[in-house]
Amino acid sequence: MRNCIIVLLIVLFFSSCSSEDSHDKTLWDRISSSFSDDTTKFEINGSIRNYDGSFIYLEKMNTDKPPETIDSTIINEKGEFYFKHSIKTTAYYIIRIRGNEFVTLLINPSEKIEFVADATDFTNKYIVNGSPDSRLIYDLNRTRSKTLNRIDSISIVYREFQEHQSIDSIKRHLDSIYVTVMSSQQDYLRSFIDKNPNSLTCVWALFQQVDKHGMILSPEFDKKYYKKVRDNLSQLYPESQYVKSLAEFIKKHKQKKTKGQKKELKYSVGKQAPNISMPGINGDTLRLSFFRGSYVLISFWASWSPESRNENKNIVELYRKYYNAGFRIFQISLDKSKDKWLAAIQEDYLQYFAHVSDLKYWQSEPAKLFGIKRLPSNFLIDNEGKIVAKDILGKDLDERLAEIYGF
């Protein structure tokens, strides 16, 4: 082994002597670079203002377990710190100062990152350079933060005017604003994916949430984007745990949907609708069969669903337009509170519809029967009780009724 090393040194020595750039690089630089694996390392040079702690932590994000601490260092008296770590492929990392005060980075091999932050608002007040993907993560989080602030503002206004005499109209207006805010965030994420199709930040975009209740982009209604990200990144990062996790998520969702479709097959388009029989607003039993001979829209909704409340405006107009032609609406609420259900009927001017509910939320018997997974949802049945359309909303519903009634 010793002889091999000597031979290597002699070869490197004569190579350096004969090279035209021998003055630019010393022999020992060449030996050092020959044994170095810096191309698979990243560096973070950072500084933090207004931090009263001593330590800062570097953690790696995993898909199958909580983030693991892979390094820690002491911040000097100037607020400066430094990390250097080996990396095989692009991965998500966290810089944490304490508890929930952390910043997420998406780091590529060989990146030399400059990081500056303010500990008074560590999660939001930071600048990152030298890592393009980390900058994209910053943009995603910043836009989400603005959306959350707008949603919080809507909630504040609602609470302030809760006892106001015009609260009904104020609430309808606020619900409409909420839908607009959420639609804007969804459009931003779709546009982000279109602009950055080859970046692992797209996985971050797909799984972004505004609260604990669900993702902004749905694998059901945004499957085009889920598939696009999976297909692009599977080729670029075939061994990435994040890409594999995304592929598994899509696979499980598809399997779950297939099982649901098998249950729903009995009541798909072209099939006879079941004769729903449920308590109405006065406790009396209402049956769907009461409306046999008319086209009926079976509308699933809830007072707590802004999207449902927004669609109510549309079906109220369509009811007025086509009522004399025989169009009827049979609404099934997924509410839990009867008071809120009845209040929403008054607020949205739905008094002339047929209303039923067993007040069982998502466990509502008709919801399970029809396989309802989101609100609003609907089924249009003809005068013989056959399902002729499913989940047609807004302008699409108007156009379908115009075809049926000829005006």
Measured CA to CA, the distance from residue 321 to residue 397 in angstroms comes to 12
Long-range pairs, 54-60, Cβ under 8 A, ≥24: 56/81, 56/95, 56/96, 56/97, 57/94, 57/95, 57/96, 57/97, 58/83, 58/85, 58/93, 58/94, 58/95, 59/93, 59/94, 59/95, 59/96, 59/102, 60/91, 60/92, 60/93, 60/94
Question: For the chain, first and last CA: distance in Å?
Answer: 92
What does residue 6 show for φ and ψ, rounded to 5 degrees?
Answer: -60, -45
Measured CA to CA, the distance from residue 366 to residue 357 in angstroms comes to 9
Sign of CA dihedral 257, 188, 64, 110: positive
Q: How far is residue 331 from each of residues 124, 256, 313, 341, measured CA to CA in Å?
A: 44, 27, 14, 11
Q: In what order do the strands lie in the sheet with 296-301?
A: 354-356, 328-333, 296-301, 377-381, 387-390
Q: Which DSSP letter does residue 280 get? A: B
- The two tokens of residue 327 are 């169009």
Residue with tokens 């798909």: 268
Amino acid at 204: W
CATH (one of 2.60.40.1110, 3.40.50.720, 3.90.76.10, 3.40.228.10) for 38-130: 2.60.40.1110
pLDDT of residue 261: 55
Domain boundaries, the chain: 38-130, 136-265, 277-405
Measured CA to CA, the distance from residue 247 to residue 245 in angstroms comes to 5
pLDDT of residue 213: 52
pLDDT of residue 266: 61
Q: How are beta strands 41-49 and 91-98 bridged, if at all?
A: unpaired
Q: Which of 328, 326, 320, 335 shows the shortest CA–CA distance to 279?
A: 335
Those residues of the chain that have pLDDT short of 70 are: 1-39, 211-214, 257-266
- Find out if CATH 3.40.30.10 is the number for domain 277-405: yes
Do residues 44 and 113 touch, judged by C-beta distance below 8 A? yes
